[in-house]
Structure 1
Amino acid sequence: MSMKGLEMNKRMVVLGSQWGDEGKGKLVDLIANKVKYVVRFQGGHNAGHTLVIRGDKTVLHLIPSGILHDQVMAILAPGMVISPSALVKELDQLKQKGFEVENKLLISDQATLLLPYHVALDKAREKEKASQKIGTTQRGIGPAYEDKIARRGFKFGAVLYNQDIETDLKEVLDYHNFVLQNYYQAPAVSFDEIKQELDLIRNRLHSKITDTTSLLHQAIEENAAILFEGAQGTLLDIDHGTYPFVTSSHTIAGGVAVSCGISPNAIGEIIAVTKAYSTRVGSGPFPTELIDETGQFIQKQGNEFGATTGRPRRCGWFDMVMAKYSAKVNGFTGIALTKLDVLDGLPEIKICVAYQYKGEKRLTPPNHAVPLEQCEPIYETLPGWQQSTKGIVEWEQLPENAQKYIKRLETLVGVKIVLVSTGPDREDTLWLDKTICQM
């Protein structure tokens, strides 16, 4: 490998290839012991990354999963929208579990504040839409990004540097309260609620706010190992997902450069975290959804309930059409296949290899939600293995049919599978290519 190749491998992106909830937290946790920095580059506390360490479950919403490793410095990048109260709550919960991470966290001074009026707007909209709601987590993520794009948002740095921020905030609060009261007939948000968020920054978070963009530039020049941790999944990307049933940020690999302020050339490995089946939370098209006993079996075996909201996840077969689309959008260099053990016990397993749309066979998904909703999956059926794969860490120990399933997915998607997760714990990992963690 060339020197450039070695350097490029020092910067890795880990992101979801589906609709989120793929198990990104576990992979980040596995690789993070090799890196100096772990960076969350988009989203807010709508994400929920679940880690299971020695049987103990920890759910992180804002803080990067890799922070639990001693040598890691965690960064919340400019592309994020961050609720100060949610962040402080998460820090306190980690402290209660024995994890001292306050001195290992940096917040970009360009990250956008997520404030109580954003949450109020999110809840009011979902209530007003009723049956046609998008299915947001109602954490205020969308409204916070709207304010950012409309240039009425507030950056973390403004709390430190703008002496008139309270006056400016009152003006924006008046605007949002007018909408809440007159359009949604919802209660107004008090300025005291906003002031509490500012006080948390001034009293608790101020020392963590810094120029993370320049820090990352220097880290790249020094060839430091950096792991960029995505939230949600590719198919929820604001531009390249199943719009309008998407999140409000760029969840794809290209979002790393935009959200962190680094060159795309600085990114090396791009690892897709992909479930051995498909799930989706909330509304939106889902061609391979199973609304039968098999879907219920997968939901139960996989404990498919949202880490952030507790909502049951919709479950379905693996969708190769979407997987190939995701691979092309992101340029994946490897796949981490998760939750293989959930399929244990099924007599047969199906893979969607194409769609049927208005009598025609499609190998690519429509760009719009309406025609995607009308697509019928064309399946290839493989025999199941009907025995436990839980905790298996050697390829030879896998049932033959499980091996065939993994190889078939790899062939269909066209990207090598570098590891297989056979359970929730760190140890339940079968590595097929350990070079990805040699950072």
Structure 2
Amino acid sequence: MSNPRSRSASLHEEEELRLPRTPGFVRRFWARHPIFADVLIALICLILSIAPATNFGTYRSTPDGGMVLVDPPPLAASIVVAALVLSACALLLRRRQWPLIAFVTAYIAAVGYLFLLEPAGGPLLLVASYSLAVYRSARTAWTGLAIGMGSLTLISFALQLTGVITLQSSLNAIFGQLALALIGTLIGVNVGGRKRYLEAVIDRSRQLLIERDQQAQLAASAERARIAREMHDIVSHSLTVIVALSEGAAATGDRERARDAATAAAATARGALTEMRSMLGVLRDGAGDVPLAPMESVAPNATVATAQNAGYPVTLTTIGEPNVSAAVGFAVGRVVQEGITNAMRHARGATRIAVHIDYASDPIVIRIENDGVTDTAGTSGFGLRGLSERVAHVNGTIHSGPVGERRWMLRAELPGASEATIADQTEESE
């Protein structure tokens, strides 16, 4: 049972290709009704070939100028030659599927014509040679012409040497069949070459359409992954901070501290909302001028300050100046954000969360260490997977795992100032 989806996809491809109509009413009708065309050709060949096929034997001229059959052929020979012609005509009905078989049968029938009183024949070789060139290849057609005519010539001369036919009859048969086969081959090579060229062009066009759709799907998948990664970074970090601030505000009896915590939670929520609006701007209709990346990178010191306001013991150590590309700078901010968020989530009793960024080294080294890790901490999750993709995007590496008892470290290495242009070129190519 055919797949409706594949049929609809095929129709969609045909609409996308917008192929022009075949010129001429007759050619369109001929192309739409191949069975009718093959039956008509077979009938014409049968009519033009069967009558000469039954007219063979030895004749003698009479005094009044007439011809008398004095040596009629055996009945079995008549039946054999007629059967060859009928078989050759019948195989023309399958000339598109079996062009070589029809071609060989036509040459066998041509050998039968050698036994006629006068060399005769029908259009069998013309049609068979044409079909071989169109439905196989030009090389096969020329090879078949050479082998077929060579065999027919050898058989004809052998019959002439044994006295079965005369030299004149042999030459007439050879040149007559050669003319028909050569005409059919020349026309078939021209038509077949054009047919195969058009099929190749159409096939290439379909392939380009498929590749275009695949590229669009890959681009859409990559954009969905990017949006999911950004959403996770924004929502996960911000909600973790908001939860910590809200719990702290609910647990303290100091109204001033509770008010400060609530204010900080509101500010964190507003910042996350602003960043999310900037990131989701690419989904608006007609937003072709909106970039595919956030406008500004996440500053590590801002992430550290937010975590400190939530009551977490976070420290930041920076060595060197952040002289990096925009893509690498954004990746640095996200690495710090994800590392602190994981520490806040999985190490609720942490007494130390140390962030170390070394811009002076090449590559840039980012380390985030914390204690208070519980047994539920792991190295899998959407955050770390998205972070690995982000770091790989700028040709960096990242590793996360335990480094001691109840201690955890996230370490990332990103291209330094000497490789800043690499990240920029990667961004521009997307």
Q: TM-score range by the shorter chain?
A: under 0.3
* Structure ranking higher in strand proportion: 1
Per chain length, whose mean CA-contact separation is higher, i.e. which structure has more relative contact order (CA < 8 Å, sep 6+)? 1
* Structure ranking higher in helix proportion: 2
Calculate the TM-score normalised by the size of structure 1.
0.22
